[in-house]
Amino acid sequence: MALGLLMIGAGIGIAAHNLYEDSLAASSSADVLSQFNEQRNELIESVKPSATPSLPAGVTVEEEQEEEAFDPNAPLPTITVDGYDYIGTVVIPPLEIELPVADTWDYVRLKISPCLYKGSPYRNDLIICAHNYMTHFRNIKNLQPGDDVIFTDAAGNEFRYKVEKVEILDPYDIEKMETSGYDLTLFTCTLGGKSRVTVRCRRADE
């Protein structure tokens, strides 16, 4: 009986700790998001042209947009908040979440927000990871094919995606995670940490 009570107490302690970590992550990411969006809006306003330039003679809007395609090797712009650099924001409408995305991942940054794992939206191989906090990526397992995901970089460029599938990967299956051929991948660990919930997406605006 004593052992049983001890185990129950330990379980309650772990649950309480997880709830505290989740609450802290929600507060931290919300604070970063607010500061990030404010700085991004200021940046966009500072570079906005005073008047819409006219197109050269004989050039269509489609041709102009094609010429302005992103350099796949260009570095992602960043905005610094509280000493960390962030490359943009990820919005998942079905889950009603909007979160900043740090420019690299480590266990300190993951306690604040999702992080860039690898790739770039300019190359259509962006991979974003996050803890399975309730306010971060815990519920991405519930996404369905056709659901929207939107990534907006620090310069205000928006990239729209549609979920294509949700799969479970082994945590050591790094090659399959990184070489899927999908334009966007979101992933988080399961509650026990034994697997990776992985969401694969395709560009929706091409």
Q: Please give the share of the chain, as a percent, with pLDDT higher than 70.
A: 79
Are 88 and 156 in contact by the 8 Å Cβ rule? The answer is no
Burial 67-88 (b: 16+ CB within 10 A, else e): eeeeeeeeebbbbebeebbbbb
pLDDT of residue 9: 52
pLDDT of residue 50: 56
Number of C-alpha atoms within 13 angstroms, CB side, residue 96? 1
CA-derived radius of gyration, the chain: 20
Contact 78, 154 (CB under 8 A): yes
| pLDDT at site 59 | 45
Closest of 127, 142, 144, 132 to residue 186, by C-alpha? 127
- Tens-place pLDDT, residues 106-130: 999 999 999 999 999 999 999 999 9
What's the mean per-residue pLDDT of the chain? Answer: 87
Query: What does the pLDDT look like over 125-168, one tens digit per residue?
Result: 999 999 999 999 999 999 999 999 999 999 999 999 999 999 99
Give residue-wise pLDDT tens across range 55-88: 455 544 454 444 457 899 999 999 999 999 999 9
Residue 116: phi and psi, rounded to 5, are -70, 125
What domains lie within the chain, and their CATH numbers?
A: 2-49+77-203 (2.40.260.10)
